[in-house]
Amino acid sequence: MPNLPLGIPSDLDKYFFNRKKELIKLNTFISGFKQNVANQILITGRRGVGKSFLLMKFRMELPENVLSAYVDLSKIHGMQKGRITEEKVMHGLFEEMLGSLENKDPLRKIYKLKDSLLKKLSAKNYDFKAAGNLLGIPIPQVDDDYEKLSSLVMEFPQKVVDDNRENIDGFVIILDEFQLIGEFENPEAFFWLIRSYTQHQDNVTYIFTGSTSATSEIVEKINGAQGAFGGRMIQFPVEPFNEKDTYDYLKEMISEIKFTPEGLKRFYKCTNGYPSYINSFCNTMSEGRTYDSEMVIETFYGKLDQIAVMWVFIWATLSDYEKEIIEILTETEALSWNDLLSKVNYSNKTLLKYTNRLKNKGILSHTNKKYAIEDIMLRSWLKYRKENDGYYPP
Ligand SMILES: Nc1ncnc2c1ncn2[C@@H]1O[C@H](COP(=O)(O)OP(=O)(O)OP(=O)(O)O)[C@@H](O)[C@H]1O
Ligand SMILES: [Mg+2]
């Protein structure tokens, strides 16, 4: 049986496939650092399409003179037992920014301050006068702790570049699972804060990415016409592998598994080219037999819990409201707002709250004024469980 990774493997190069065009694009977007031109980037795409893996690879291949920090907001979310705050995100950013200096020789002196600076942060002692002097960042005399913290963190990357022009051209900061910012009390304020700093920073690129559809509320808030960046961010969606890529990937990664041409086509239809599903499906297949279309279907339904494993985990994290909305839409395809509202027992306001959450999580789509479940694997899995168990997973 193949053993393809279900998460991001530590040996990136062993498993990373193609995405050449996306990598060229990303590199073009940061190619202006030397001329003091920085872009801000928003990368959307459904769950399991390969956003994080792509960005890991991009990060690994960054030129020597570009620093980078990677923050996964779902980790901060997890550690906070479901509560994510601006302050925690700032801590996470600062920690990763400092961490990125470890192997850059002249910057190591700042890296060495990491532990003592972070200790100050965790003690909520935001008196950065001394730290500000050490880092050379003028810390404004403000009363509000969060303001002090955020100005330290937000000024930091540009300052590092400015002080090290001979070695460093730019700083890339990746915020993964950024849709969780939607859980802040005031997501707009956070986006505006970042925008207000990036406006004057010519060598810092933020890349926001997460599982959310290009039309979600959170995307509107950050880059919509009324959003903080007002359309100035470069936005691009990561697409699943196309049919040919999928076949090439299978040939390269699991040459021991044989398919008939119809079997291959069926495999592509079942996975839609999503690398996460391709991998989890492959891991259920055996050598020594040739998969035709029927065998692919049989395996698909026989091992659906394993193939849709990603959703088994996500399902467990959803609230009862969210589950109910998904169940309704699993049974009825697309629904207008009023039709959806008529099927639930709670208020307009509550429904709005949870549909927005589901949109931010990239689970619900809202196109042509109709709500629908974006992911067919999620639908297949739920339908299958309902048929087999008589009820939806609890
Ligand atoms: N280019 C690729 N080559 C090979 N495998 C890939 C590629 N992209 C993604 N994968 C595999 O697909 C799975 C999902 O990838 P990844 O975690 O990057 O997706 P994602 O879009 O970040 O998903 P999520 O929205 O859930 O965070 C991983 O197991 C990864 O190993
Ligand atoms: Mg990801």
| More confident call, 238 vs 130 | 238
List the one residue out of 52, 60, 94 whose CA is nearest residue 76. Answer: 94
Q: What is the pLDDT of residues 334-380, one digit of tens each?
A: 999 999 999 999 899 999 999 988 887 878 888 888 999 978 899 99
Distance between CA 326 and CA 310 in Å, rounded?
A: 16
Which ligand lies nearest to the CA atom of residue 53 in the structure? 1
CA atoms of 306 and 283, how far apart (whole Å): 9
* d(CA 271, ligand 1 centre) in Å: 13
List Cβ neighbours of 14 (8 Å cut-off, separation of 6 or more). Answer: none
Q: In the 8-state DSSP scheme, what is residue 21?
A: H
**Measured between alpha carbons, how far is 387 from 382 in angstroms, rounded to an integer?**
9
Question: Residue 115: its pLDDT value, please?
Answer: 80
Report which of residues 97 and 129 the model is more confident about: 97
* Strand bridging mode 204-209 / 335-336: unpaired
Residue 208 forms beta bridges with which residues?
42, 175
**Proximal ligand: closest to the CA of 248:** 1
Ligand found nearest the CA of 311: 1
Q: Are 220 and 227 in contact (CB under 8 A)?
A: yes
Contact 211, 45 (CB under 8 A): yes
Cα(176) to centroid(ligand 2), Å: 7
pLDDT digits (tens, 9 = 90+) for 167-219: 999 999 999 999 888 878 888 999 999 999 999 999 999 999 998 877 778 89
Distance from the alpha carbon of residue 123 to the mean position of ligand 2, in angstroms: 31
**How high is the pLDDT of residue 77?**
67
* pLDDT for position 31: 96
Edge-first strand order for the sheet with 335-336 is 335-336, 370-373, 364-367
One-letter amino acid of 88? K
**Rounded to whole angstroms, how far apart are CA atoms 181 and 173?**
16
Core vs surface per residue 205-239: b (16+ CB within 10 A) or e: bbbbbbbbbeebbbbebbbeeebbbeeebbbbebe
Q: What is the mean pLDDT of residues 88-112?
A: 87
C-beta neighbour count of 246 within 10 angstroms? 22
240 lines ligand 1 (CB under 6 A): no
Pick the atom of ligand 1 nearest to 47's CA: 25
Q: What angle do CA 48, 49, 54 make, to 5 degrees?
A: 110
Ligand 1 pocket residue status of 275, Cβ below 6 Å:
yes
- pLDDT-based confidence at residue 263 (cuts at 50, 70, 90): very high
The set of residues, in sequence order, having a beta carbon less than 8 Å from that of 178 and lying 6+ positions away, is 73, 208, 209, 210, 212, 218, 222
Q: Do the bridges between strand 370-373 and strand 364-367 make them parallel or antiparallel, or are there none, so unpaired?
A: antiparallel
Determine the average pLDDT of the residues in 313-337.
93
Compute and round to an integer the Cα radius of gyration of the chain. 23
Whole-number Å distance, alpha carbon 348 to ligand 1 midpoint, is 36
Residue 328 has φ and ψ, to the nearest 5°, of -60, -45
Q: Model confidence at 82, in pLDDT bands (50, 70, 90)?
A: low
Residues with CB under 5 A from ligand 2 (ion): 52
Q: Domains in the chain, ordered, with CATH?
A: 19-237 (3.40.50.300), 243-307 (1.10.8), 320-389 (1.10.10.10)
- Report the distance separating Cα 341 and Cα 169, nearest Å: 52
pLDDT over 90 percentage in the chain: 65
Residue type, position 294, single letter:
E
DSSP strands (E only) in the chain: 41-44, 66-72, 170-176, 204-209, 234-237, 258-259, 290-291, 335-336, 364-367, 370-373
- Cα(211) to ligand 2 centroid in Å equals 7
Distance in Å, CA 347 to ligand 2 centroid: 33
What token pair was written down for 393? 């997973």
- Taking the C-alpha atoms of residue 235 and residue 241, their distance in angstroms, rounded to an integer, is 19
* pLDDT score recorded for residue 142: 47
Strand arrangement of the beta sheet that strand 234-237 belongs to: 66-72, 170-176, 204-209, 41-44, 234-237
* Cα–Cα distance measured from residue 275 to residue 117, given in angstroms and rounded to the nearest whole number: 40
Whether residue 279 has its Cβ less than 6 Å from ligand 1: yes
Q: Return the structure tokens found at 286.
A: 């055996």
Kindly indicate the confidence band of residue 305, based on its pLDDT and cuts at 50, 70 and 90.
very high
DSSP 200-246: T-SSEEEEEE-SB-TTSHHHHHHHSTTSTTTT-SEEEEPPPP-HHHH
- How many angstroms separate the first and last alpha carbons of the chain? 31
Position 213 scores a pLDDT of 76
DSSP state of 71: E
Give per-residue pLDDT as tens, 101-157: 988 877 888 888 788 777 776 656 555 555 555 566 555 444 467 888 888 899 999
Please state the rounded mean pLDDT for residues 267-285.
96
Measured from the CB, is residue 49 less than 6 Å from ligand 1?
Answer: yes
The reported pTM is 0.90
